[in-house]
Structure formats: structure tokens, C-alpha cells
Amino acid sequence: MAGRLENKVVLLSGGTRGMGEAQVRMMAAEGAQVIFGGRDGGAGSAIEAALGGRATYVRLDVTKSDDWKAAVAHAMDRFGRIDGLVNNAGFGVTRPLAEISDEEWADVIAVNQTGVFLGMREVVGPMLASGGGSIVNVASPAGVKAHGNLVAYSAAKAAVIGMSRAAAKELAGQGIRVNVFIPGYFATRLLMESSKGQGLERGAQVTPMGRVGQPEESAGAIVYLLSDESSFVTGTQITADGGYTA
């Protein structure tokens, strides 16, 4: 039986750990050829080896347009098309507004907002050439719900939602769908190490379902948005947060 992403080529950023890694693995299992980026070459190579030719690691700093161009060129040279893009890379700075430095602000905006823009910009041409595609941009509850000490991150993730809607409207008639995925608290290393090691416990406490999500639970939504099952879905957002933003 064919997988839900059979014969599709997908490029994903931030794929060497956490939700990104889970998404790479599920996309490959569903039949996609995955080109995934990240800064951890060791982890990337290990994932590539484990997936036996269904996934290819590329070095990708999402803030650098040359890295995006190289990743897109690699996909086109090897497979001749790009059907999907997942802008998953991101990070935040938890600090009071008055204490955020110029450098911290610039770094958060560069990764979470500019990186998404660069990824979208570079895949539009290849997608148009092959008849269309699906772009999934990962945002955050911080982009739709007030959080103290997260001004830079909230600004960037709100921008991701705005950019995605604008791009969806612009590209809808050209066969390219653009949607947003909003994950809540997930059991990633970043959460485990946050709040002095209490991140998992605190995440569960504020989530109505009483637990944090597992990385694999993020992957199902991503696969849906990339697949032909969501062929009439664009300009919207899917939230997987256990009821946190309800």
C-alpha cells in the first residue's frame, strides 16, 4: 500500500532532533524523499543512515540565504522537484522585555522569522516549475496567546502566521498551499532542559489534557498538511497543544 507522501520530495529545516526528527522519520515512512537540515552534523548523519536512503542530511543555517539556495539546489539536482517545505527550525529567549539585548532580538527574529521567509522564497520557483506544492510553517502558541518574558519570540511567531496567510493568498491560484502548524508543549530536549529541569512538569500542568505531547504526535499533522488529503486547505493553522490555547 502506497504511503501518504509517496513520490513527494520534502525539504525540512531543524530536522536533527525533537519534533523535526520525528517529522523526518514519519515523512520517510510515508514514502517521501526527505532532505532535512540542521546544525548538528553528527545527529543528521545518524538519522540519514537509519532511514536507509529515504532521507538526506544537509547543513542548513536558516538565517543564511546561501544555505537555503544550496539545500534547494541539492534537492533539485538529486530529485528534480520539491513538493513540500517544512520550516521547523526555531528557538526563543526567555527574558524580561527591558533586558533583551539587541543581539538576542536580532537572533530570534533571524531564525524564527527571516529563516521562514528565506525558505519560502527559495522553494516557490521549483514548486511552480513542478506544478505546485505545500508549505508548512511552524509557529507557536506564543504567536497567538500572551506570554510574559517572550516578546521577541512572540513577535517572530506572530509574524510567521501573518507571512503564511499572505503567502497563501498570493500563491493560492498557482497551486502552492501555505499553512501553519502550532505545537504546544512537546517532550523535546529543549523543554526537558527548560525551567531548571522542570519544563516537562510545568508543560503538563498548563495543558488541559494533563500531559505534554510526544514528538511523533506533531508529525501526523505535518504529514496531513503535506499530503494530497489537505488539497483544499490553505491559509489556515492546525494546532496540536492538548487544549492549551482553547
Domains and CATH numbers, the chain: 9-187+215-231 (3.40.50.720)
Tell me what the mean pLDDT of segment 216-234 comes to. 97
pLDDT score of 194: 60
pTM summary value: 0.95
In one-letter notation, the amino acid at residue 135 is I
pLDDT (0 to 100) of residue 183: 95
Residue 1 has pLDDT above 80, yes or no: no
Instruction: Please list the active-site residues.
Output: 153
**Can you read off the three cell numbers belonging to residue 62?**
536558516
**End-to-end CA gap in the chain:** 37
Q: Is pLDDT above 90 for 189?
A: no
Looking at the chain, the whole-number percentage of residues with pLDDT higher than 70 is 96
Cα angle, residue 42 at apex, residues 38 and 43 outer, rounded to 5°: 60
Q: What is the pLDDT of residues 7-33, one digit of tens each?
A: 999 999 999 999 999 999 999 999 999
> How many Å separate Cα 109 from the centre of its chain?
15
| Closest to 111 in 3D by CA, of 146, 135, 138 | 138
Q: How many helices (DSSP H) and strands (DSSP E) are in the chain?
A: 9, 7
pLDDT (0 to 100) of residue 177: 98
What pLDDT, on a 0 to 100 scale, did the predictor assign at position 197?
Answer: 62
**SS3 at position 82:** coil
